[in-house]
Amino acid sequence: MKSRSFELLDVTLRDGSHAMKHAFTVEQIRQTARGLDQAGIGYFEVSHGDGLGGSSLQYGLSKVQELQLIEAAADVCENSKVSVLLIPGIGIKEDLQDAVKAGAKMVRVATHVTEADVAAQHIALGRELGLKTVGFLMMAHMAPVEKVVEQAKLFESYGAEVVYVTDSAGYMLPQDVTEKIAALKQSIGCEIGFHGHNNLSMAMANTVAAVEAGATYIDGSLRALGAGSGNTQTEVMVAVLERLGFNTGVDLYKIMDVANEIVAKFMQRPQEITGSSLIMGYSGVYSSFLLHTQAAAQKFGVDERDILVELGRLKAVGGQEDLIYDVAQQIALARV
């Protein structure tokens, strides 16, 4: 085995919240968290799909208050640590302070790929609270390499210990990932991470490309449970990386058992590449828009693919969920 060290960060209990319509129960969180801990996962993320403070009419109301879920996860872990996502403008500093009291040990501060400057206070607070603090550049396909490097340097200057290239739309191809990760490797001193979505069936290939280019933090979700067509599949990723000769530190059989005996039983639908999620990847649309788009298509009697293509043309980004309904209505009116 190669000696290189990885952190495989599992996002089932955060990104999977999108696919679960934010309806995780305390018992589902506890069972999954316990399994991840026993399998050897270092960090896993727990929060609303849109991060701390995301439970709202715009983003979807959580069935159980997120601080209860964080506390339940932290309570059953002996070694694994709980991470939370914080999107400035959705979550506030007090949300992060409360998450720490509930047991969080890492924060990933997420911004649009061109807007790292809005996160300076949140990164500083993460470090002040003693958290592993990460900068998360969402929709990374929407910026050229030079802009990604510039924004990563901002995150690093604020105190981020890891900076992520995040393929929120599942749009990137392996050469795109290689180019961006390699550029960061040459330009910043902190560690580099990659978070992929599978809307074009590229998540695993992109993850391997990221690893080979120098990323040491890699995201996955059990059974690929996540927004759109889901994420790089954690249990498969462990197997692939070990086949490539890397020591992941994760027990393959145990992580498979968590996926198949726990997560598979509460999933609302299989994570597969449908026509709509394919269009999301093809058009570069934020993966968490999928369920909102399906609801808007049904409400206005239009093809959800038409909505997604138009959202892609408009270069819609996370936080513009209200635009989905405007687009659907405009498509419906144009057909009258």
* pLDDT (tens digit per residue) in 156-203: 999 999 999 999 999 999 999 999 999 999 999 999 999 999 999 999
Q: For residues 195 and 19, what is the distance between their CA atoms, to the nearest angstrom?
A: 17
Question: Given this model, what pLDDT does residue 188 score?
Answer: 98
Residue 269, marked binder: no
Q: Of the ranges 81-90, 123-132, 283-292, which one carries the lowest mean pLDDT score?
A: 283-292
State yes or no: is 18 an active-site residue.
yes
Question: Given this model, what pLDDT does residue 19 score?
Answer: 94
Residue 80, marked binder: no
Co-location of 257 and 301 in the same domain? no
Domain presence at residue 82: yes
| Mean pLDDT score, 256-274 | 95
Residue 15, marked binder: yes
Co-location of 245 and 283 in the same domain? no
Co-location of 90 and 141 in the same domain? yes
Co-location of 77 and 209 in the same domain? yes
Co-location of 193 and 250 in the same domain? yes
Catalytic-labelled residue, pool 18, 22, 48, 112 = 18
Domain presence at residue 222: yes
Percent of the chain predicted with pLDDT > 70: 99
Is the pLDDT higher at 324 or at 179? 179
| Mean pLDDT score, 115-141 | 98
| Mean pLDDT score, 29-42 | 98
Structural domain of 286: 275-334
- In total, how many domains does the chain have? 2
Question: Given this model, what pLDDT does residue 2 score?
Answer: 56
Kindly report the CATH number assigned to the domain that includes residue 296. Answer: 1.10.8.60
Q: Tell me which of 221, 243, 266 is where a domain ends.
A: 266
Question: Could you tell me the pLDDT band of residue 127, with boundaries at 50, 70 and 90?
Answer: very high
Co-location of 262 and 322 in the same domain? no
Residue 3 has pLDDT above 70, yes or no: no
Co-location of 252 and 140 in the same domain? yes
Reduce the secondary structure of the chain to three states and give it as a string.
CECCCCEEEECCCCCHHHHCCCCCCHHHHHHHHHHHHHHCCCEEECCCCCCCCCCECCCECCCCCHHHHHHHHHHCCCCCEEEEEECECCECHHHHHHHHHHCEEEEEEEEECCCHHHHHHHHHHHHHCCCEEEEEEECHHHCCHHHHHHHHHHHHHHCCCEEEEECCCCCCCHHHHHHHHHHHHHHCCCEEEEECECCCCCHHHHHHHHHHHCCCEEEEEHHHCCCCCCECEHHHHHHHHHHCCECCCCCHHHHHHHHHHHHHHHCCCCCCCCHHHHHHHHHCCCHHHHHHHHHHHHHHCCCHHHHHHHHHHCCCCCCCHHHHHHHHHHHHHHCC
Question: Given this model, what pLDDT does residue 53 score?
Answer: 95
Co-location of 20 and 139 in the same domain? yes
Co-location of 146 and 121 in the same domain? yes
Residues 6 or more apart in contact with residue 3 via CB below 8 angstroms:
247
Residue 1 has pLDDT above 70, yes or no: no
| Mean pLDDT score, 27-32 | 98
pTM above 0.75, yes or no: yes
Residue 326 has pLDDT above 60, yes or no: yes
Residue 197, marked binder: yes
Question: Given this model, what pLDDT does residue 262 score?
Answer: 98
Q: Tell me which of 249, 266, 283 is where a domain ends.
A: 266
Co-location of 251 and 303 in the same domain? no
Domain presence at residue 1: no
Domain presence at residue 75: yes
Co-location of 223 and 305 in the same domain? no
Co-location of 63 and 132 in the same domain? yes
Residue 48, marked binder: no
Question: Given this model, what pLDDT does residue 288 score?
Answer: 81
Question: Given this model, what pLDDT does residue 167 score?
Answer: 97
Question: Given this model, what pLDDT does residue 4 score?
Answer: 58
Domain presence at residue 183: yes
Question: Could you tell me the pLDDT band of residue 58, with boundaries at 50, 70 and 90?
Answer: confident
| Mean pLDDT score, 49-71 | 94
Question: Given this model, what pLDDT does residue 316 score?
Answer: 85
